[in-house]
Amino acid sequence: MNKIIIITGASRGIGAATAKRAAAQGYAVCVNYLKQQKAAEKIVAEILSDGGKAIAVSADISNESDVVRMFETVDVQLGTVSALVNNAGILQKQMRVDEMSAERLNRIFSVNITGFFLCARQAVKRMSTRYGGSGGAIVNVSSAASRLGSAGEYVDYAASKGAIDTLTTGLSQEVASEMIRVNAVRPGFIYTDIHANGGEPDRVDRIKTAIPMQRGGQPEEVANAIMWLLSDAASYVTGTFIDAAGGR
């Protein structure tokens, strides 16, 4: 089976690290991005310079037509997808629930929940033996926030990741007999620029002493967990969660 992977939100952070790992392991990579075109093209250029195969595709995963177009682009330019990493996600400025607007909530949920469902749907339609596919694997990037709640900071983000945990469990059972495995990684406090979007770029350094391992994690450490779940080494693993959170 051809190794073709779509990684959403792959222009930076965990997504970018996963794209590089996947390319090194022989995957043709779709680097999805929303606004960071130059960053996405840089990832693609690095993969190509190392002898790999990659394309950058802009798509807002909360937009159904964008998701359909992205998968159709991969069909034409790379081939039928065999692995999906649902990674793209957003958070907004830290605040309490009693300060959150409906606009904020709807935006968080449309990307972090609806976007994952839409991408999973398109992947299943290509991978599933029910539709004539040859199987595949999906890894959802959840968060330790789904277990911890993120009180006073991002309860909406945490709730969206709780929904992704449920998606992982339910979808894994739906498609297990159709040669598709569905698992999730729950990163904890990782050094990525998503924290700047919440108004605290140094958040990991503030929190790290409360982590049993006494440090924040690196994107590459999460990428390693993702790639293991996609690999044949995890061939009997589905509906499972790997917590990459330093012991939290």
pLDDT at residue number 73: 98
pLDDT at residue number 248: 81
pTM: 0.95
pLDDT at residue number 196: 59
Q: List, in order, residues 6 or more apart from 137 with CB less than 8 Å away.
A: 82, 83, 84, 180, 181, 182, 183, 229, 230, 234
Whether 248 maps to a domain, the answer reads no
Question: How many domains in the chain?
Answer: 1
User: pLDDT above 90 covers what percent of the chain?
Assistant: 87
Catalytic residue from among 27, 33, 154, 157 = 157
Dump pLDDT digits (tens) for 119-153.
999 999 999 999 999 999 999 999 999 999 999 99
Name residue, tokens 């904020």: 104
If one counts every other C-beta atom within 10 angstroms of the C-beta of residue 182, the result is: 28
Whether 175 maps to a domain, the answer reads yes
pLDDT at residue number 210: 87
pLDDT at residue number 208: 87
**At 90, which CATH number?**
3.40.50.720
157 is catalytic: yes
pLDDT at residue number 198: 63
Whether 16 maps to a domain, the answer reads yes
Whether 145 maps to a domain, the answer reads yes
Dump pLDDT digits (tens) for 86-128.
999 999 999 999 999 999 999 999 999 999 999 999 999 999 9
pLDDT at residue number 1: 64
pLDDT at residue number 136: 98
Q: Which domain, by its residues, includes 10?
A: 4-243
**Quick one: which of 15, 172, 30, 188 has its CA closest to 89?**
15
Residues with pLDDT less than 50, the chain: none
Cα distance between residue 244 and residue 230, in whole Å:
16
The tokens for 206 are 């503030």
